[in-house]
A = this chain, B = another copy of it.
Amino acid sequence: MDPKINEYLMKLAREDDKYILEMERTASEKNFPIVERLVGRLLFVLTKLKRPKLIVELGSGFGYSAYWFAKALQNGKIVLTDYRKENIQNAERLFLETGLIRKAVFRVGEAMDIAKEYKDIDILFIDIEKHQYLEAIQTLLPNLNRNALIIADNSLWYGKVAKNIRDRETLGIKKFNKYLFESQDFITMILPLRDGVLIAYKLS
């Protein structure tokens, strides 16, 4: 995105939620990757529209995206996963403080293995190692509910997907994008926010 446009949008998207501001500060200080505020708002609106019972995140970090999901949840719950215990502990502390803890389940371990335990997933959020994206969706297809949403971060991978770059991560994202766009069972799009957010709506 044009930096001027980004600046304009960030100025519009003023935020009062002190937990969001605190997480954004931490991410910036520690150079920890988060989906950022404009994507956070998108996750919030999609959750309001979808009214999911169950959200599963593959790769939650310290809980920034999960917090936006959880804020929008009415009666559902969200499963956070991360292979680093420290991340999940930080997320749990945040959810405890904000009063959202009853909506969340915190799991340390291999995201895909954990996700396989859950049936009828309404929103599957993917933010793990980029070469694992395709395997993740193929593995978890039977666990998706009717009309599920798949939301995947980094689907433009710094623009590398549009260039002739062939490292494992770029190829992984390209195969994942192609698979979902070509599938007759989904209508798929990529929103050019931050590093690209793929959204696939399951038609059946």
Contacts and interface: CB of A to CB of B under 8 A. Distances in A.
A120 interface: no
A53 B189 CA distance: 24
A137 interface: no
A171 interface: no
Contacts of A18: none
A159 B7 CA distance: 12
A199 interface: yes
Interface in A3-37: 4-5, 7-9, 12-14
A146 to B, nearest CB: 12
A162 B8 contact: yes
B2 A159 contact: yes
Contacts of A192: 1, 5, 9, 191-193
Taken together, the copies of this chain in the complex come to 2
Given A41-B187, A189-B41, A189-B42, A162 B4 contact: yes
A154 interface: no
Nearest to A44: B187
A156 B191 contact: no
Contact of A189 (B13, B161, B201): B13
Interface in A157-204: 159, 161-163, 177-178, 181, 187-193, 199, 201
Nearest to A197: B191
A102 interface: no
A73 to B, nearest CB: 14
Closest 5 CB pairs of A and B: A8-B162, A49-B49, A4-B162, A12-B181, A41-B189
14 contacts: A2-B159, A5-B162, A9-B190, A13-B181, A41-B187, A41-B188, A42-B189, A42-B191, A45-B189, A45-B199, A45-B201, A46-B49, A49-B49, A49-B201
Given A5-B159, A13-B189, 16 more contacts: A2-B162, A5-B162, A8-B161, A12-B178, A12-B188, A41-B189, A42-B191, A45-B199, A46-B49, A48-B187, A49-B149, A49-B201, A191-B191, A191-B192, A192-B192, A192-B193
